[in-house]
């Protein structure tokens, strides 16, 4: 009697142990993905608070120094459509870990650049590698997690990207203030390397059955472009990031001019409103199951547009409050759209996630230029009109194209 176990109870015990083990594995997996995501997004924005220092170091105009940021965004937009299918063909873990590991090299080399042109080239190389993580991670989550966990996990991924972007902006400035701007790149290269090693140790490998051939991986992207629901999400992402980048790119020009006349320090502190994105992203991903993804994406676009319009109020507290509203709307929609794409797309899903990211960053590229033309002609009201108009097109795309068949 003592040495025997009821087979039924034994099976139940083993099943429960396996369930616990599976839960622990998924927890570690999500933590590693979040750390890797935060690391690569921090690399993206390292140079943003360093622009005055770079301008002085290399003797370039402030607008030219800004190429150290726009080169990364443009390279991400160009490379995103490559890495997603690459993950479909080679395995997503291999691509994410490999790209993040390689990313540490140009990040470190930026600390030793002899000329500004070399720095911009290395920043562009960073942009070519970053989508190896950002364009593949959502598809990896869809492959590894149960359907009911995909939305919350993607929401956590968006929160990690916001935290990483904020860390890149704030952390690089803090390091540069004490150790110089070159030390900032050394610190974030080490962080990137640590993120790659954590993913290598913690992520289960992509199952062989999930991989597809090269031809199908890249040809599948054209199939996704024939799905109106996916195209609607792609356009929503493009216009959303267009308006978001447009506001935050030209906001310093407004705040340093009359009647505010703020210095660089107070202007850079405005970016702390991004914290709203860290808070709202996990909440929005859980609300999607109750309210519906399309409805929540549309609501995020509406709230974002309202936040942009509210920046017209000539009061600094009102502008800060409006930027918080903008971030809440932006990251509500952005926490929903990638998981909507992953769950809507047919195989290969990596190509669909990559296309969304490509559209998203092309929107950011255009948003860093076109609102500037409006600023030169009509000042801040022109920027508001252009950004709100873009978000209106995104709202139209979401409610007409993304609706259920």
In this predicted structure, what is the pLDDT of residue 216? 61
Comparison of pLDDT for 254 and 398, the residue scoring more: 398
In the CATH hierarchy, which fold is given to the domain comprising 28-211?
Answer: Growth Hormone; Chain: A; (1.20.1250)
In this predicted structure, what is the pLDDT of residue 61? 75
- Write out the chain in H/E/C secondary structure: CCCCCCHHHHHHHHHHHHHHHHHHHHHHHHHHHHHHHHHHHHHHCCCHHHHHHHHHHHCCCHHHHCHHHHHHHHHHHHHHHHHHHHHHHHCHHHHHHHHHHHHHHHHHHHHHCCCHHHHHHHHHHHHHHCHHHHCCHHHHHHHHCCHHHHHHHHHHHHHHHHHHHHHHHHHHHHHHHHHCHHHHHHHHHHHHHHHHHHHHHHCCCCCHHHCCCHHHHHHHHHHHCCCHHHHHHHHHHHHHHHHHHHHHHHHHHHHCCCCCCCCHHHHHHHHHHHHHHHHHHHHHHHHHHHHCHHHHHHHHHHHHHHHHHHCCCCCHHHHHHHHHHHHHHHHHHHHHHHHHHHHHCCCCHHHHHHHHHHHHHHHHHHHCCHHHHHHHHHHHHHHHHHHHHHHHHHHHHHHHHCCCC
Same fold, 28-211 and 220-405: yes
Q: What's the average model confidence in pLDDT over 346-361? A: 81
14-34, pLDDT tens digit by residue?
A: 343 334 446 778 888 889 999
Task: Provide the pLDDT confidence category of residue 201 given band limits of 50, 70 and 90.
Answer: very high
76-126, pLDDT tens digit by residue?
A: 888 887 887 787 778 889 999 999 999 999 999 999 999 999 999 999 999
Q: Check: CB of residue 334 under 8 Å from CB of residue 120.
A: no
pTM of the entire predicted model:
0.76
Largest CA distance in the chain: 89
Q: Where are the domains of the chain?
A: 28-211, 220-405
295-344, pLDDT tens digit by residue?
A: 999 999 999 999 999 999 999 999 999 999 999 999 999 889 988 998 88
In this predicted structure, what is the pLDDT of residue 209? 52
What percentage of the chain exceeds 70 in pLDDT? 88
Q: What's the average model confidence in pLDDT over 391-398? A: 96
pLDDT at 175 over 70: yes
From the list 186, 162, 155, the residue with the least C-alpha distance to 42 is 162
From the list 349, 339, 350, the residue with the least C-alpha distance to 86 is 350
pLDDT at 218 over 80: no
184-195, pLDDT tens digit by residue?
A: 999 999 999 999
- Compute the distance between CA of residue 215 and CA of residue 379 in angstroms, rounded to an integer: 48
In this predicted structure, what is the pLDDT of residue 145? 83
From the list 165, 30, 192, 211, the residue with the least C-alpha distance to 97 is 192
240-252, pLDDT tens digit by residue?
A: 999 998 888 788 7
pLDDT at 207 over 70: no
pLDDT at 10 over 50: no
Q: Which CATH code for domain 220-405?
A: 1.20.1250.20
Q: What's the average model confidence in pLDDT over 218-234? A: 83
């Amino acid at each position: 009697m003592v040495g025997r176990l009821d087979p039924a109870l034994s099976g139940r015990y083993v099943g429960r142990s396996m369930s616990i083990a599976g839960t622990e594995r998924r927890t570690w997996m999500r933590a590693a993905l979040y750390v890797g995501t935060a690391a690569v997004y921090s690399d993206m924005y390292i140079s943003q608070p360093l622009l005055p220092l770079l301008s002085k170091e290399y003797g370039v105009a402030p607008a030219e120094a800004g190429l150290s940021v726009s080169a990364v965004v443009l390279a991400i937009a160009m490379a995103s459509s490559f890495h997603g299918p690459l993950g479909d063909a080679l395995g997503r873990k291999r691509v994410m870990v490999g790209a993040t590991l390689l990313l540490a090299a140009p990040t470190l080399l930026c600390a030793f650049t002899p000329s500004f042109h070399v720095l911009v080239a290395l920043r562009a190389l960073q942009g070519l590698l970053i989508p190896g993580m950002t364009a593949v991670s959502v598809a990896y989550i869809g492959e590894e997690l149960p359907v009911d966990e995909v939305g919350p996990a993607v929401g956590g991924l968006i929160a990690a990207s916001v935290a990483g972007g904020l860390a890149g902006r704030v952390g690089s400035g803090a390091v540069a203030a004490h150790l110089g701007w070159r030390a900032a790149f050394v610190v974030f290269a080490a962080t990137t390397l640590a993120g790659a090693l954590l993913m290598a140790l913690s992520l289960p490998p992509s199952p062989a059955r999930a991989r597809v051939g090269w031809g199908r991986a890249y040809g599948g992207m054209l199939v996704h472009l024939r799905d109106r629901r996916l195209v609607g999400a792609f356009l929503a992402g493009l216009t959303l990031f267009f308006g978001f980048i447009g506001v935050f790119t030209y906001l310093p020009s407004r705040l340093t001019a009359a009647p505010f006349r703020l210095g660089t320090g107070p202007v850079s502190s405005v970016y702390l409103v991004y914290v709203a994105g860290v808070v709202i992203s996990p909440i929005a991903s859980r609300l999607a199951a109750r309210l519906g993804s399309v409805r929540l994406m549309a609501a995020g676009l509406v709230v974002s547009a309202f936040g942009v319009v509210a920046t017209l109020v000539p009061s600094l507290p009102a502008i800060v409050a409006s930027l918080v509203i903008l971030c809440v709307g932006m990251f509500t929609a952005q926490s929903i759209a990638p998981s909507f794409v992953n769950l809507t797309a047919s195989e290969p899903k990596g190509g669909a996630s990559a296309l969304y990211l490509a559209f998203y960053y092309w929107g950011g590229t255009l948003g860093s230029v076109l609102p500037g033309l409006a600023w030169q002609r009509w000042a801040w009201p022109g920027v508001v009109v252009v950004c709100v108009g873009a978000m209106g097109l995104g709202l139209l795309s979401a409610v007409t194209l993304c609706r259920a068949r």
